Amino acid sequence: MGVTRDDEKEPHSVEQRNGTPSLWMLYLSAVYVGVFGFLILLLGDAKTPSWSRLLALGDARQVLGLGTILGLLAVAMQIGIAVFLPEGLWADDGTNAFFTRLSYAHIVLLMALTALGEELFFRAAIQSLLLRWIPSVAVGLAVAAAVFAVAHVRYVTRPVLLAGAWGIGLLLGWGYWFTGSIWTAVWAHFLVNVTMTVLGKRGWFLPGWRSSTGERRRLRQPGP
């Protein structure tokens, strides 16, 4: 028997199963990281970027173009991990599958808040501080990416997932450093999160996806 996707086994929405407060906890957890980032920036000294400079869009074509490229690179990396490595090395604790059970509207809004909050904290605040303290830009970006990876606590015992998060953090950090616009990293982060969640919602690149896909192909084949 093939593996059935979670949203097929449980057609009710997350709100219906777990109650609205659980859904709002997801939103709150996406926001509080950004709040901490704002606090770090507020408590920073005169070398901290001004708010107008921090939130400026910059060159929109560069931000969207480079952000899209970085986001797609991160998506390709995650797909490559799911395709070429044994599932036991990259299967998480079920959190990613949980997100796929949200409605598309909640996915877009939640991932937008997550991208904005995490980029304010990890790139605008933490990375900026590290680049002031560490003379080498490459080392500073690598350390900031490591902080980002370790902050995903559920990945700490999964070396492949931890390395993947570090790679994504490095791409996002470089995009922010290169363009000088936090929106480059926000857009790339949003793009990779939404893309992978929607693919998971369609039954791709989650634990059990190979057997599930094979079962769907078998069912589509004409009988003898």
| Residues 81/160, Cβ–Cβ less than 8 Å | yes
How much is the pLDDT for 14? Answer: 42
Q: How many CA atoms lie within 13 A of 97 on its CB side?
A: 18
How much is the pLDDT for 58? Answer: 82
How much is the pLDDT for 12? Answer: 42
The residue with tokens 């605008």 is 124
List Cβ neighbours of 209 (8 Å cut-off, separation of 6 or more).
3, 82, 203
Residue 4 CB neighbours (<10 A): 14
Residues 10 and 93: their CA atoms lie apart, in Å, by 18
What is the DSSP code (8-state) at residue 136? -
Q: pLDDT by residue for the chain (224 residues), tens digit each?
A: 333 444 444 434 444 444 334 778 888 888 888 888 888 877 765 455 566 677 778 888 889 999 999 999 999 999 999 999 999 899 888 888 888 989 999 999 999 999 999 999 999 999 999 999 999 999 999 999 999 999 998 898 999 999 999 999 999 999 999 999 999 999 999 999 999 999 999 989 988 887 765 444 443 444 44
Q: What are phi and psi of 77, to 5 degrees?
A: -65, -45
How much is the pLDDT for 16? Answer: 43
Terminal C-alpha separation, the chain: 20
